Structure 1
């Protein structure tokens, strides 16, 4: 196996394994997002299939759905889209990926998750057989013959209780507190939640970054964000990851050029030898006519590389061995054989056999 094949073998077989080893031994905790415009994900949150386990706090796993929305799955309430995350206040805003948040609110249960509501407002839902002017219907819960309303206003609740069917009264984690009861709401606004642990609020407000101290530790530390944007380990890994294939490619290119130069040297050496043999004293002599040369018998060499009148396995002109399927030409007077292209070129310059120096009959 020549040097070029060895280098190619190293690049295509060993280098991918090297990258796998580097990536598995060095865990990167980048900030990430499912798509442009989506919430930025960093500690204590982590994106599955993107961040290692140590990059997120337990219970803060997120993933991207087929629409590239950022999804959080609450243990007792199912999946919700993350609309925004504010790390300095430790708040997040969620909504329903199916665009019917009121239906999800009827079964909302935040127990078992690290999140709680910031502000709560009680809303009472009614199923009515008429449209009530001044109240906003909840479209995704209403039908052709009935309309669902939600209100926190006492008078509206008293009226609707006598005219409609009560569905439920639920506490909604609203975005802010209302100074006065809400007459009507379609309950489609984002829900505002917060988390208490891990406590990274002060760290984030100072422009620093929270995270685990080590792969095996559950203790939280507050570290400076690298000015260059990447941790030192990441920069080293990227330098190695880019440098090693570049070096291998350069070595492979140099080996290829070296092989080409050596091949060119051999070809040139053969040409020089042929010229020196053809014209040893720079004396120009007249050779045979092309029609005479073409009249000399030609033979295609078989797989056995044997001919009845073949005395040697090497062409005396180019000094290369005969190979199967090559065309040989013999001089009738002396029966000496040569490569057809070699003897044709020779006889155009010299009118004698290269071996016995006898001149063929030019007639």
Structure 2
């Protein structure tokens, strides 16, 4: 029984720490910039949990680290200071023209009211009214030459004023501090006890506010959770008393497996402070791409990760959403696992499992690793692994996932050189019954983009577009070079896929890096599969399921596919387009990229 008492105490302490953790989350971002006002209950930032503040007291931070008060009506005011003791917030119109917002400014739906206010009427006049001791107050930010705008206190007997040259605009309540506040001056908004709960004394200079209206919601939730845990503990104790040792062992195995699966199912969310700690203040840089920089990190003494810090100036957050939405639900041996992510205000990062051998591109293109070349048997295993991963994306998930950027750079290798597909920033989700995917912009890397992605004359964009990219990747693995390489001496080899097809078509063997017996057969099989995948028309390409079967089968049973580099290419409009022209287009775009 002592064991269960320890478990009960552990759960209690865990729950307490969790509550304290929620409190720390409320205090994590309590200023917009170093000089901004302190933000605490009843106020909260919009990206903080609702328990951190009270309804109607939402604040937001601008890109310039300014604090803004978001009122229920579409009005935002710049916050200069918050006095919690006097329940007063000093604000200012960000455009220095409060009068422009008066028509839609209403505090009735908000918890605030003006510290001092007067009712005024706004007039648009065609003549100047600024004589000495005039009751008219000029509003320059609304005036235009020849048509000044004035405000007159509504209690003034306007029938005694000369309004013959004026037109009434509207009435409004205006903050008053010895004069109407219209143009750029700060003013006070107050909130009352009835709008929140009460002030609680604290050791800090500013008092803390807490909600005590009835029973605290957090206390109720805590009690329910604690009661539930206690009930579960009692049930477990009774079960252990009346269960056999065999059932006990089975349940322990079941619970252990569940916890392991649950740990892998859902990526964790980290704060930006956690990211800096994991990467040792961004000490070890692994690489840099168009969307950010990748650093090596460490979650523990034995668990290493790769942390990609996303560049805020690129895109609109679509890559971040795609990565988390797709990789967060993908679990496959040939797909990189998303360990966690960070979305802390304007800071975004993705945390992946660390793969020590980096990308496949390094081993098939770079001269720096010639002292360790991959054998043809290992290349075949890598090809099968990549194909299996893509087939899982297309058929193994609830929704079909189209990667749109299959290339050697996005294939990472673990310590045993097992391939894992990475970088889902361009991915799209669609149903398995959907035969075509709509696209507004071209996705992918030139040289690996299927023809139908560039021009709908070749067919509809679908999962067959990934098949084309995989085919190009296979041919580059065979040749150890880019599919388009203007640096080669022979112009006939500039477009390498066509060179491969011509050699195989006339029965010549591919002697690229052939070292052992059996290498020729593997190279020929990979080339034939690659050529089958890069057929111009999507309907002529095999599915990834068929591709896996072709790669796992005997190479001598494969037949040469139709020539994808024929002199003409059929289109939907029954027109013909010379292959050379299309290749020229690819080369030009590749140079401009």
| TM-score, normalised with respect to structure 2 | 0.30
Structure with higher RCO (Cα < 8 A, 6+ apart): 1
